[in-house]
Amino acid sequence: MAETLLFNALREAVDEEMGRDETVFVLGEDVGHYGGSYKVTKGLYEKYGPLRVLDTPIAENSFTGMAVGAAMTGLRPIVEGMNMGFLLLAFNQIANNAGMLPYTSGGNYHIPMVIRGPGGVGRQLGAEHSQRLEAYFQAVPGLKIVACSTPYNAKGLLKSAIRDKNPVLFFEHVLLYNLKEDLPSDEYLVPLDKADVVRSGKDVTILTYSRMRHHVLQAVKGIEAQGFDPEVIDLISLKPIDYDTIGASIRKTHRVIIVEECMRTGGIAAEIIASINDRFFDELDAPVMRLSSQDIPTPYNGRLESLTIVQPKQIVEAVEKMMMAQV
Amino acid sequence: MVQERTLPTFQAISAKLDKQEGLRLYEDMVLGRYFEDKCAEMYYRGKMFGFVHLYNGQEAVSTGVIKSMRSDDYVCSTYRDHVHALSAGVSANAVMAELFGKETGCSKGRGGSMHMFSKEHNLLGGFAFIGEGIPVALGAAFQSRYRRDALGDTSADQVTAAFFGDGTTNNGQFFECLNMAVLWKLPILFVVENNKWAIGMAHERASSQTEIYRKASVFGMPGYEVDGMDVLAVREVAQAAVARARAGEGPTLIECLTYRFRGHSLADPDELRSQAEKDEWQARDPLVRLEAYLIEQNLADDAELKAIKKRLEAHIEDAVKFAESSPEPSPDELHRYIFAED
Ligand SMILES: Cc1ncc(C[n+]2csc(CCOP(=O)(O)OP(=O)(O)O)c2C)c(N)n1
Ligand SMILES: [Mg+2]
């Protein structure tokens, strides 16, 4: 066991996988000499050299497309988005090429590549650096989308993503890089497609992911104080969604609240609500509730910013409201 | 009509060409031409659908470049990709079946005209969006260099050729990739097929510097202009560029001055190009030119060339039959290929 910061857990994952498989390489802006803007690749340039830790010019769509070409021809690229928002410039390469090409090519090619980096609402970074992009990408066929939330799952999930044969969009959260946790010293993997039941409970299922996991866990004390027993599930995989785990939980609690950082319109929760209605409607004792961030560009002002995203207090209130409506 | 650019001269006599090689080039060009003519016919007969972009007139480029490469080299195309696929070795059957949307197509009927893929032939695609193939080609070239220099595989000397049009050179990916190719000395040929038009946008109305090959020098890359209606001229430039790339000396930009003999796609009424311009380029038909050369140089006689044409005509008829009689993809496999299979 070793106490490890989340960004170092990611670094260990990349390092271990590069050591294990020589076709794995990293590319992106400032990943080499600089060690990555959040130090996820620190020291790897020195260890693996300039081709395996490739500093690219600031040319997101082209270096992302280049990674697609490298993956089609047998390498396993890890693209670091200096900020995931910058990859909006690479939307075409991520959607048309990484996502759709395996299908369009009739299975001629598969694209084992990881696109990772910091996303989410930071602290007063302004709208463009505080993006909530997961929902933009969820409709793209062929992509897997994962959001890590703890040092333990960050490491195990990134290793699995690197070994996966498909393009994986791997969201880290800019405010979680300094989380600490004791990690096993033996190698471990965390599967990409399994949601994580963080807390078992019987009264209400709370589905969440990324930084909101921690907001939900903060809210749990308040919820317990009201006398309720919530089940907390970290989705981990935003595409595909683990409906087995969700279904098992709904059969127990019959109530669902979704807490997400992405925007309400067309968000991850919107998709999950629709699917829960399709699959588990008869199990529900109440309409599914969602707490999402506001449909606005993230404002700079600190107070407005905190009003934009869901706060723990709102989660407690939502549970209370849902449970009270039952009696 | 804008003054035509003076085509660079090429002394065909300098081309070292024996009979076998001459006929190899000739066959590839005839195959491309006849294939496309057949596509037009089949499109109008309702056998194929969507946007179908034909390559007639530009055959010297595909043949001159791809036939200067090895079968383990990589080719990356655009939506005007049928003939690049054929030159790269994909069978007429597989390309025709793809156009008919059949399971036996090179993309299993999932791709269509603009998405020809063949891993077996290192054909990277088939890209329907302008410019997006250029970075993908760059990635294949990077992969060769990576295998050679990061993994120490001395046999990794494959070269990649990326084909794209004049209009595409105004897209950022073109400039971004020239820059990276030089930075990392990648084994890649950027082959610009300057046919003077991007649908209805005349090249000189879209590019501030119309001589595209000059753009290479800004990046410290050799750039050549070549008569794209002369397969021997294209071949000579391509061979030198392939040799440089293979030797680890980096990328080359080749601007081929060429012309499409048909509209942008089979849906294009082609109303903007003047008859005078079309006539001028039609007179430079690359197939006619090679034919004349082969006969002039006593590399082939008329009867031989006729026999080749007849054979290829039959070959393409067979491809149509193959496509027609091939099965449609199964509805049970609607979702197949979204994710990799083990
Ligand atoms: C990103 C993108 N924008 C627009 C189009 C529509 N489009 C298809 S072909 C074409 C013109 C391309 O011209 P050029 O690069 O000269 O190639 P050519 O068709 O002449 O071979 C355009 C604008 C497209 N396919 N992709
Ligand atoms: Mg053009």
pLDDT tens, chain A, 327 aa long: 789 999 999 999 999 999 999 999 999 999 999 999 999 999 999 999 999 999 999 999 999 999 999 999 999 999 999 999 999 999 999 999 999 999 999 999 999 999 999 999 999 999 999 999 999 999 999 999 999 999 999 999 999 999 999 999 999 999 999 999 999 999 999 999 999 999 999 999 999 999 999 999 999 999 999 999 999 999 999 999 999 999 999 999 999 999 999 999 999 999 999 999 999 999 999 999 999 999 999 999 999 999 999 999 999 999 999 999 865
Atom number, ligand 1, closest to the C-alpha of residue B53 = 19
C-beta of residue A142 within 8 angstroms of C-beta of residue A99: yes
- Please answer whether residues A117 and A80 qualify as being in contact, where contact means their C-beta atoms are separated by less than 8 angstroms: yes
* Structure-model confidence comparison of residues B13 and B320, the more confident one: B320
Is the pLDDT confidence value at B196 over 70? yes
DSSP H or E run through A173: strand A168-173
- A66–B138 CB contact, under 8 Å: yes
Residue-level pLDDT at A135: 95
Q: What is the dihedral angle through the alpha carbons of A310, A311, A317, A320, rounded to the nearest 10 degrees?
A: 80
What is the model's pLDDT at position A86?
Answer: 92
Closest ligand 1 atom to B130 CA: 26
Question: A196-325 is classed in which CATH architecture?
Answer: 3-Layer(aba) Sandwich (3.40)
Average pLDDT of span B99-112: 98
B274 CA to centre of ligand 1 in angstroms: 20
pLDDT at B110 over 70: yes
Interchain proximity B139–A68, CB inside 8 Å: yes
The CA-atom distances, in angstroms, between A212 and each of A292, A314, B6 are: 10, 12, 65
pLDDT at B333: 98
Supply the pLDDT for residue B15: 82
Asked if the bond preceding A247 is cis, omega within 30° of 0, the reply is no
In this predicted structure, the answer to whether residue B162 has a pLDDT above a threshold of 90 is: yes
Give the pLDDT score at A326: 61
A100: CA distance to ligand 2 center in Å? 26
Mean pLDDT of B196-219: 98
- With a 6 Å cutoff on the Cβ, whether B198 touches ligand 1 is yes
Query: Rg of chain A over CA atoms, in angstroms?
Result: 20
Which residues in chain B are contacts of A101 at CB distance < 8 A? 117, 125
Q: Is A129 a catalytic site residue?
A: yes
Say which DSSP state A57 is in: P
- Spell out which residues have Cβ within 5 A of ligand 2, the ion: B 165-166, 195, 198
Nearest CB neighbour to A69, from listed B105, B129, B138: B138
* Total-model pTM: 0.97
Q: Specify the CATH class of A2-183 in words.
A: alpha beta
Q: Exposed, middle or buried, B229 (CB in 10 Å: 0-12/13-18/19+)?
A: buried
Determine the number of helices (DSSP H) and then strands (DSSP E) in chain A: 12, 14
The continuous run of DSSP H or E covering A322 comes out as helix A312-324
A65 and B135 in contact by Cβ < 8 A? Answer: yes
Distance from C-alpha of A82 to C-alpha of A87, rounded to nearest angstrom: 9
State yes or no: pLDDT of B177 exceeds 70: yes
Q: What is the pLDDT of residue B7?
A: 85
Choose the catalytic residue: A12, A60, A231, A305: A60
pLDDT for B12 beyond 90: no
| Residue boundaries of the structural domains of chain A | 2-183, 196-325
Tell me the residues of chain B between 148 and 177 that have a Cβ less than 8 Å away from chain A.
149-151, 172-173, 176-177
Predicted pLDDT at B3:
74
Would you state the pLDDT for residue A198? 98
Q: A223 φ, ψ to 5°?
A: -65, -40
Q: Is some CB atom of chain B closer than 8 A to the CB atom of A28?
A: no
Average pLDDT over residues B115-125: 98
Residue whose tokens read 């609690």: A253
Give the domains, in start order, of chain B with CATH numbers.
Answer: 15-323 (3.40.50.970)
- Hey, do A2-183 and A196-325 end up sharing a CATH topology, with the first three levels equal? yes
- Residues B108-117: what's their mean pLDDT? 98
Looking at residue B342, its pLDDT comes to 78
ipTM above 0.85, yes or no: yes
Q: Is A85 on the interface with B (CB under 8 A)?
A: no
pLDDT of B156 over the 70 cut: yes
Residue B4 confidence (pLDDT): 84
Chain A residues in contact with B79 by the CB 8 A cut-off are: none
Q: What pLDDT shows up at residue B1?
A: 53
Mean pLDDT for B2-6 is 79
Identify the nearest ligand to the CA of B62 by its number: 1
